[in-house]
Amino acid sequence: MWLRRKYKAAKIRWRKELNTLTTLLQQPNPFVNDGTNYTRRFFTTQWEEQVTYLDNITQEETEQRKKLTKLLEKEEALNKLQKFLERKDWDIQSKLINRIVDEISKTKASQQELAQQLGISYTSQSTNVGKEKRLLLLQSAKQQLYAKAVDIMGIRQPIVESQTRGRRVGTKLKEKIFETIKKKKAVVLRLITKYNGRHQDYLRNNDPKGLADCSVVLLTWDTFVSLKLDDPFWNDAAHCDSKAPWAVASDVREGIRACHMLDQTEEELDLIAQELAWAMSWAVEMHNMLNTLTSNINNLPPNSTEVITPVQLGTLDQCTGQQVLKFELYITLNPATFIQAQPEVEEGAEETDKTLQEQEFMEAAEDGEFAEDSQVDQMLDEDGGWETDPAAE
């Protein structure tokens, strides 16, 4: 049963990804000059180029970008605090305000130093510093959301497996799972608000057309919990500096994902086939072993004390236990033969008496003794007697 559930779930995923890839392969490829459609080979090549691009980003650059992102988030928080302080009269807290302003200045100086190390010059006219800063903040918010998505997916895994592999999940465990997810909802909602704000800010300043696009909607809790970990939403390729097709076209990224998922489901189906072969081999071996055990018990001479199997059946002695075991194995291994081999049981005195009682009951019912009230009037003649009663004639 569980193996069939696994196969069914894998087959559903395979068909879904195949339909997605088939739809993409029917679309024209705008990145070639011969006017042909997308191909699976094209998606594979784009994935290899994406891996090469990401491999060229050193670990040191990654760490520096993380530090710069933390400084940007700190600056963002301090700027909000500064705006809040500017809206009120804080003469008494002038020292505190000056300290906050100094902290903001130090943070900006640290940002400039790290940015220059990464090749982002704050004084260069060719570099859109604001775009780089907003992009780093947007990626940071998405990474925080992804971490929460992985956490929630791990919590929901027992329920997912109950739907795909047939593993039972009790009511109490389900209640605990939903209660745990509910506790994490408040934190996730704050991260969603942060992401939506940074995304809107990025589109407003760098992609006004994207902001006006009706397909761009705000992220909500319901949308967040419905996203799978391999959803294109989590792909940061769109925010890379590369101008390659995998970085600028969502169709290409979706094609890459569909190719990978199709390969994964095909591999899973192969593994399920191997697992089925192993299960069948085990079942055949077990059947043969039980048949051999039954034959060995059956070949024992009468009143033999030889022990074929050490299995102890309750309080029965070894000899009787082996005969009972042989009988049970015979029924289990050959149920159809056992049923056909059962002789018809002749009726004894009790069965005969029961048959006569049933026959007497049926005759009495035909005479109206056990008729329903609604049928009594039909069984009486005009004088009030039974139609079959001679006294009434």
Tens of pLDDT, residue by residue, the chain (393 residues): 678 888 888 888 899 999 999 999 999 999 988 889 999 999 999 999 888 887 777 676 777 777 777 777 777 777 777 677 666 655 556 666 677 777 767 766 766 666 665 555 554 444 567 777 788 888 888 888 988 988 988 888 887 777 666 567 778 888 888 888 888 999 999 999 999 988 888 888 877 776 666 556 788 999 998 888 878 788 766 566 677 888 878 888 889 989 999 999 999 999 999 999 998 999 899 888 888 877 777 777 776 667 677 777 777 777 777 777 777 777 777 665 544 544 554 555 566 666 666 666 556 555 554 444 544 455 444 444 444 444 444
Q: Which two tokens stand for residue 310?
A: 């050490």
Beta carbons of 296 and 260 less than 8 angstroms apart? no
Question: What's the pLDDT at 271?
Answer: 92
Question: What's the pLDDT at 376?
Answer: 45
d(CA 181, CA 145): 14
d(CA 355, CA 366): 17
**Cα angle for residues 362, 363, 364 (degrees, 5° grid):** 90
Q: What is the residue type of 242?
A: S
Beta carbons of 256 and 45 less than 8 angstroms apart? no
For 306, counting Cβ atoms within 10 Å of its Cβ (0-12 exposed, 13-18 middle, 19+ buried), the class is: exposed
Question: What's the pLDDT at 241?
Answer: 64
DSSP per position, 146-182: HHHHHHHHHHHHHHHHHHHT-----HHHHHHHHHHHH
Specify the long-range contacts of residues 110-117, CB closer than 8 Å, at least 24 apart: 110/71, 111/68, 111/71, 111/72, 111/75, 114/64, 114/67, 114/68, 114/71, 115/68, 117/64
Question: What's the pLDDT at 326?
Answer: 75
d(CA 10, CA 263): 11
**Dmax over Cα atoms in the chain, in whole Å?**
126
Q: What is the torsional sign of CA 246, 250, 253, 255?
A: negative
Residue 42, CA distances (Å) to 19, 30, 38, 266 in order:
18, 12, 7, 20
Residue 294 CB coordination number (10 Å):
20
Q: Which two tokens stand for residue 207?
A: 């992609």
Tokens 């003649």 map to which residue?
A: 381
Rama region for 303: left / alpha / beta (φ>0; ψ in -120 to 50; rest): left
d(CA 208, CA 201): 10
Beta carbons of 53 and 34 less than 8 angstroms apart? no
Q: Which two tokens stand for residue 340?
A: 């056909």
Domain boundaries, the chain: 31-127, 129-238, 349-392
- Give pTM, 2 decimals: 0.57
d(CA 245, CA 225): 29
